[in-house]
Amino acid sequence: MLTAEQKQQFADQGYLVIDPQIDPAIIDGVRERVGNGLLYPDGRTVARVQDAWRQDAGVKTIACAPTVLAVLAQLHGRKPLPFQTLNFRVGTEQKVHSDTVHFNSNPAGHMCGVWVALEDIDQHNGAVIYYPGSHKLPEVGMSEVFAEPDLGARRAPMRDGPLSPRGWWRELRGHSPAHDSAHNYLLYETYMERQIERARIAPALATIRKGQAFVWAANLMHGGSPRTDPARTRHSQVSHYYFEGARYHRPLLNPDGRVRYFQPDWIV
Ligand SMILES: O=C(O)CCC(=O)C(=O)O
C-alpha cells in the first residue's frame, strides 16, 4: 500500500502524512461528542480527553482504522497494537519532546503516534510542530538530562517507586504535594530545546487537512505550535501504538532509571 518513497521518507524524516480513509461521519461524530464535550452529562468542555475510546465507539474506530494499522505494519514490519487515545479541542502548545520519554520498548523504538485532524489545521490554530529527521538523534532519558551539569544540579530527589500515569499528570499540573516528576520534566524540556539548537534542525508544521493523519516515529521531536488565533479550535485525536513482540515501559514514570515493564491496556 505504501510506496517505496513513502517508506524511505518515514525512515529518513521520521514522519508521514497519510489518508487514513476514515468515514467523515466518524470524524464529525467524534468532534461533536468528544471535542465539544457532548460526551459529558454536565456539558463541560475539556481541552484534552484521555482514553475516550473506552466510552466512544468513534474514537475507537479512528484508533483502529484498518488503513492506519496496515500503514504502521508496513513501516515497522510488526503488528501495531493501539493502547492510548488523546482527544484535543484546542492546540496543546506542548513543548518539544519525543514520545520515547513517555513510552518506550525493549527492543527500543517500537512505538508510534498517529495524529488525525478532525478539522483543517493551519499555522494559526496550533498545528503540531515537528523537527524532520530528529528521530535519528540519540534517545533522551532522564539520565542524559541529569548529565548536563546545570540541569543535574537542579534535579529533584527521586521517589522510591514508580508513579502511576494519573499521579504523573497530577504532578505535572501541580495538583499533587510532591512535585518531583513535574520539576524534572521541566528540566527535560530545557534539555530538548538545547538538543534542537545543537542539531540546528529547522521546525515544520503539520498543516494537514481534516481527515488526514500525521504519523510520527517514537523518537521524532515534536510539540504543539503557538495558537496565534486563540479563538480557533484544533479538534484532533492522537492514538498511540506499540508493536507486537516487544516489552513496554514508561521511562518518565521510573525516573530512578530502573526499567519497569508494564502491560498496556490494548484497544480492542
Ligand atoms: O497535539 C499536540 O499539539 C501535541 C501532541 C503530542 O505531542 C503527543 O501526543 O505526543
Q: Whose CA is nearest to atom 2 of ligand 1?
A: 224
The per-residue pLDDT for 172 is 55
The reported pTM is 0.91
Cβ of residue 94 lying under 6 Å from some atom of ligand 1: yes
- HSE-CB of 82 using CA atoms within 13 angstroms: 24
Integer CA distances (angstroms), 22 to 43, 124, 150, 181, in order: 27, 25, 47, 37
Asked if the structure places residue 152 within a domain, the reply is no
Helix residue ranges, H only, 34-103: 57-63, 66-76
Mutate to test the pocket of ligand 1, among 122, 130, 222, 240 (most ligand atoms within 8 A of CB): 222
Asked if the structure places residue 155 within a domain, the reply is no
In angstroms, the CA 259 to CA 100 distance is 13
Provide the CATH number for the domain around residue 93: 2.60.120.620
Cβ of residue 91 lying under 6 Å from some atom of ligand 1: yes
Taking each helix axis from N to C terminus, what angle separates 4-13 and 66-76, rounded to the nearest 10 degrees? 70
Mean pLDDT by 10 residues, the chain (268 residues): 96 98 97 76 66 95 98 97 95 95 94 98 97 97 91 76 61 49 87 96 98 98 96 96 96 77 95
The per-residue pLDDT for 159 is 58
DSSP for residue 254: -
Cβ of residue 225 lying under 6 Å from some atom of ligand 1: no
Asked if the structure places residue 238 within a domain, the reply is yes
Asked if the structure places residue 253 within a domain, the reply is yes
Q: Using the mean position of ligand 1's atoms as its centre, give its distance from the Cα of residue 15 in Å.
A: 14
Which domain range does residue 210 map to?
Answer: 15-138+206-262
What is the grid cell recorded at 182? 513535574
The per-residue pLDDT for 184 is 84
Cβ of residue 128 lying under 6 Å from some atom of ligand 1: yes
Asked if the structure places residue 120 within a domain, the reply is yes
Asked if the structure places residue 223 within a domain, the reply is yes
Q: How many domains does the chain have?
A: 1
The per-residue pLDDT for 171 is 52
Query: From its phi and psi, is residue 94 left (phi > 0), alpha (psi between -120 and 50) or beta?
Result: beta
Asked if the structure places residue 248 within a domain, the reply is yes
The per-residue pLDDT for 206 is 98
Cβ of residue 222 lying under 6 Å from some atom of ligand 1: yes
Asked if the structure places residue 64 within a domain, the reply is yes
